[in-house]
Amino acid sequence: MSLYTLARTLLFRIEPERAHAIGLKLLRFLGNMRVDEPSLRAETSLGDLDNVIGLAAGYDKTGEYLESLEKLGFGYLVAGTVTMSPWPGHPKPRIIRDSGQRALVNALGFPNPGLDQFIRNISSQRVSVPVVASISGQTIRDIIECYKKLQPRVSGIELNLSSPNTPKLRDLREPEAFKELATEMASHKRKPTYLKVLPYRDRSQFVEVLQLVKTWSELGFEGATASNTLLIDESRLATGTGGLSGPPLFPRTVEAIRAIRNVVPISFEINAVGGISSGKDVVAALKEGATTVQIFTAVVFDGPTLMHRILRELSKLMSTPATLVQHAKIS
């Protein structure tokens, strides 16, 4: 039995949120697992990436573990989601594992230390890959303040108005409120900024998402992250509902990429997230029009060697590099 297999067995006997916290602390003992493969490099608005795979928001909510996470081999890291003031999140239990589907259901509700502590956390570390901060809030004013204060500290910003566990965000997705928020953000924009959108449920539902994306694109923002978790009923959570993540979402991720790519300029970037766990998944997302991909749930189930495996798979798949170059600009 490998060391990771043993650690995973023990961690999966612990309540998921506590196990995650322990796992983050254990990462500091890992050596550098980065894969140096020039053929996987990509040019994006975040700069030249070692590869197109980012760590999705929510894995490091506080921005305390970026140096450790960088060693796993990600091309960039998304930290947060952070809000102006500290948020405790929802009551526990608020994460459920579904090992059969290799999926998670969470009702976290943005637990975070608040903007000032988040800035102290990320500023105390030296990270060589781009760091994107995921931000949110319940008012336009709070989001704008977050946006202004964080931009000098990070490589980019991801605006999260799509968490299924924070109902008040719906108000900011209303067309008039969203345009007011996005317009004000555009006036303060100094770094690449992405909109994280709701997952694809069906064509009629996604029309509203596409309207927001088009407004976002027209205001000059660089891209969108597609998509957030899918709201489902889950009686084992204290809230009774939560956001599903993992492989069951991948077909919806593909639909979301395809739909967004059809309504935005080719220069508009799409960060694909939702169910990606292999090199083949990465290629499928890029072929549909994604610029980069992001991973979260697969890291929980496959551990710190996941990126090494996926990057090796991608390196082999590069026997037909034109498949990837078309959208990801991999050189």
pLDDT along the chain (331 residues), means of 10: 72 93 91 83 95 97 97 97 96 96 96 97 96 96 97 98 81 92 98 97 95 98 97 97 97 98 97 97 96 97 93 81 44 37
User: Tokens for 137?
Assistant: 């809030």
Q: Say what the pLDDT of residue 7 is.
A: 78
Could you give the angle at which helices 175-188 and 140-150 cross, rounded to 10 degrees?
20
Catalytic residue among 45, 68, 162, 163: 163
Residue 258 host element (H or E) = helix 250-261
Between CA 59 and CA 205 the distance in angstroms is 28
Residues 132/73, Cβ–Cβ less than 8 Å? no
C-alpha of 18 from chain center: 21
Between CA 288 and CA 247 the distance in angstroms is 17
Between CA 315 and CA 330 the distance in angstroms is 12
Q: Say what the pLDDT of residue 329 is.
A: 43
The yes-or-no answer on residue 267 being catalytic is no
The ranges assigned to domains in the chain are 3-328
> How many CA atoms are closer than 13 Å to the CA of 18, on its beta-carbon side?
8
Helix (H, G, I), strand (E, B) or coil at 310: helix
Q: Say what the pLDDT of residue 2 is.
A: 61
Q: How would CATH label the architecture of 3-328?
A: Alpha-Beta Barrel (3.20)
Q: Say what the pLDDT of residue 66 is.
A: 98
